[in-house]
Homo-oligomer: A and B are copies of this chain.
């Protein structure tokens, strides 16, 4: 029995999900990477920019503009690490957490509409499978 390539099926789905996120993010004044950063800081204890960059799979130079903007918006604080004055410690603010939660709620509401097309047990199996596969080591 033949099937389509996984990547070929996932690509349009990913496109659709991102297209649905865009207006939500824009309405909240967040960039895609800004949302990714807030989500990372909200769910994991991350200390430095280098640690953050590695966690979200981006280069350390790529996130700087994002952090600058988030800090300007008051969603993030950067403080020098007293123990190593080269490093900057990252902390999401209460406002940042609120913003992230509001955006996520809207995004997941959209996603749930999509998931609603699936039979109930396919849906939970799908989410379970995604959670497993997304957590695999890169290799």
Say yes or no: is A111 at the interface (Cβ < 8 Å to chain B).
yes
Say yes or no: is A127 at the interface (Cβ < 8 Å to chain B).
yes
Interface size on A, residues (CB 8 A): 45
* A interface majority secondary structure: helix
B residues less than 8 Å from A118 (CB atoms): 129, 132-133
Question: Copies of this chain, how many?
Answer: 2
Say yes or no: is A125 at the interface (Cβ < 8 Å to chain B).
yes
Q: Could you give, for residues 99-139 of chain A, a 1 whenever the CB lies within 8 Å of some chain B CB and a 0 otherwise? A: 00000100110010011011001110111111111101011
A-B contact pairs, 9 of them (CB 8 A): A4-B134, A5-B39, A6-B114, A8-B39, A9-B133, A14-B14, A121-B125, A125-B126, A126-B126
Q: Which residues of A contact B (CB under 8 A)?
A: 3-19, 21, 36, 39, 57, 104, 107-108, 111, 114-115, 117-118, 121-123, 125-134, 136, 138-139
